[in-house]
Structure 1
Amino acid sequence: MTVNQIRPAHVDDAAELTQVAARAVKNDGFDDNAVARFMPGLRVNLALIAAGLVFVAEGDDGVLQGWVSVRPTGIGGLILLEGIFVEPAHSRRGAGSRLFSTAVGLSRKLAGNVILINSSPSSVDFYARLGANKIGATPFVFSPDVELTMFAFTIPPV
């Protein structure tokens, strides 16, 4: 099933969005213990929902397929991609790309010119295909044994 719409998230979506993130990470090969350690980084931020910085992909049937969240950093033009999470049943069907495109559009509205991405090991190829440039690596704050690849995506002019 393809993405029917991308819409702003609602506060009442929060629990389901967090579960989508947990299932996506588990699908990437992490076990329940790892997901529990990662949970502070997987839980959707209610303040970002209220600020209109979280968007949801829905299918024709209204089922949530994934979500994306961005955050301004306060450093001129730099936007942080908080995360893109896609329900495993909808992985590799365009939802992630549509959500990233939404993040780019939203970042433009926030006067962003670069999106900073901390990618899980399983998403490195995804961000590279989208045109993001690898700029380094960092340990995941909630599980330092997991190394995240850092990318910078330059937002193209309109």
Structure 2
Amino acid sequence: MTFRPATPADTVVLRQMMATSNGYDRPAARAMIERFSAGWVVPEMGHEIWLLEENGEAAGFYQLIPHGRDQELDLFFTADAFQGRGVGRRLFEHMLERAGLLSAETVIIKSNPEAADFYRRMGAIDIGVDPPGQEITWERPTLARPL
């Protein structure tokens, strides 16, 4: 498995990974992620979107965005077919390394409720709750992972 920066050519594959993710099975969550992913694109440059591949197949990806002096984990997806194989852990460890290279001291995570326990197992701690807003109609645990 290898990591590489995502490119605009990866947009369709990453949109599909988001739209079909088994982490969004609730009807409201499925509708939200389908709408979001349909309009999302990998920008040309100036981004932190990393893709993990195995034999040319997308296994997962994440996106970091600046959050003050720190970084926010904005997107984090493991392809359904790759779950249970340590891919999520590899993605998370790579993300922590990248955040450190960007001089962050902490990674902020506004989590899908179904994914929060994964982040806690990775060492993130609860720091609050993000209220519903815009297209997300449910509360999201907010976590922080010190580097």
State the partner residue of 1:88: 80
Q: Distance in 2 between matches of 1:86 and 1:114?
A: 22
Q: Distance in 1 between matches of 2:29 and 2:115?
A: 17
Compared with structure 1, are the counterparts of its residues 40 and 107 closer, same or farther at alpha carbon in structure 2 (3 Å cutoff)? Answer: farther
TM-score (norm. length: structure 1): 0.82
Shift of residue 45, structure 1, vs aligned partner: 4.5
On the 8 A contact 1:20/1:87 being kept in 2, the answer is: yes
Secondary structure at the aligned position of 1:46 is classed as coil
State the partner residue of 2:64: 70
Measured against aligned partners, the alpha-carbon deviations of 1:96-153 in whole angstroms (never above 9, x if no partner) come to: 1111111111111111000000111111110011000011111343222x22111000
Over 2 Å off, 4+ runs: 33-47
Secondary structure at the aligned position of 2:92 is classed as helix
TM-score (norm. length: structure 2): 0.87
Residue identity matched to 1:46: V
On the 8 A contact 2:48/2:64 being kept in 1, the answer is: yes
Count of matched residue pairs: 145
* Unaligned stretches of 5+ residues in structure 1: none
Q: After the TM superposition, which residues 1-158 of structure 1 pair with which residues of structure 2 at under 5 Å, given as runs?
A: 4-24=1-21, 26-31=22-27, 34-39=29-34, 41-42=36-37, 44-47=40-43, 50-59=45-54, 61-73=55-67, 75-76=68-69, 78-141=70-133, 142-144=135-137, 146-155=138-147
Shift of residue 44, structure 1, vs aligned partner: 4.4
Measured against aligned partners, the alpha-carbon deviations of 1:6-29 in whole angstroms (never above 9, x if no partner) come to: 1111110011101101111x4542
Q: Percent of aligned positions with the same letter in both sequences?
A: 26
